[in-house]
Amino acid sequence: MNNGKVALVFGGSRGIGAAIVQRLARDGHAVAFTYVSREDRARALVATVEQDGSRALAIHADSADPAAITAAVDETVNAFGRLDVVVVNAGVLRLGNIDGYQLEDLDQTLAVNVRGVFLAIQAAVARMGEGGRVITIGSNTAVRSGHVGSSVYAMSKAAVATMVQNLALDLAPRQITINNIQPGPTLTDMTAELAEATRKFVPLNRLGQPDEIASLASWLAGKQAGYMTGSSLTIDGGFVA
């Protein structure tokens, strides 16, 4: 199925991002995605999507690099002719108590998790037509982390939630919606150890699966979600309930 629409997923080669790439492809989108490392995984994901009859494009781009962000958007539009959906999933996780937290970790977290998110949105909506969809992947730590050493990461995700709420006003005249998904403990290679340690605090007594986050992204990218904008949707098994 090809619906004629194009999506770009920043940070799409693994975990939640890869699940979103595959789900949007199944929904009929041509999908481009960025990656920083593990080119083998990126190529394997392209092959998987293409085997299912959809189009995919892997783009090497560091979300800490403003030029790379803009180039990724341009490459997507050049390859597929348009841009309808952008998902900003790229992020870094640098944990540490304030007593020993390193400045380079603070700078990297803010560069990718806050500045990179804003710049990705800015670059994408510049090439997006009326009625587009912007989706950010935040974290339920914006509401409550429950972990010592998570203050900087939680701060960055709270910034994304506030950013989305206010960017909704900027984008509303163009009928572009923007919403933020806040996953809780989810089983991915980046967060597996931390997520498993948190599982006992999840009322549903299990970890989330990347496909569950991707399903919510799919809905937000569709026409049924056209009246929702500026919202943060927490999907965490009741962790912050």
> Which domains are assigned to the chain?
6-235 (3.40.50.720)
pLDDT for the residue numbered 239: 93
Which tens digits make up the pLDDT trace of 27-41? 999 999 999 988 999
The chain-wide mean pLDDT, for the chain, equals 95
Residues in Cβ contact with 88 at an 8 Å cutoff, skipping those fewer than 6 apart: 10, 11, 116, 117, 120, 121, 134, 135, 136, 137
**For residue 49, pLDDT beyond 90:** yes
Residue 174 — pLDDT band, cuts 50, 70, 90?
very high
pLDDT for the residue numbered 228: 98
**For residue 112, pLDDT beyond 70:** yes
pLDDT for the residue numbered 95: 92
pLDDT for the residue numbered 192: 66
101 tagged catalytic? no
**Stretch (H or E) spanning 196:** helix 192-198
Number of H helices, E strands in the chain: 8, 7
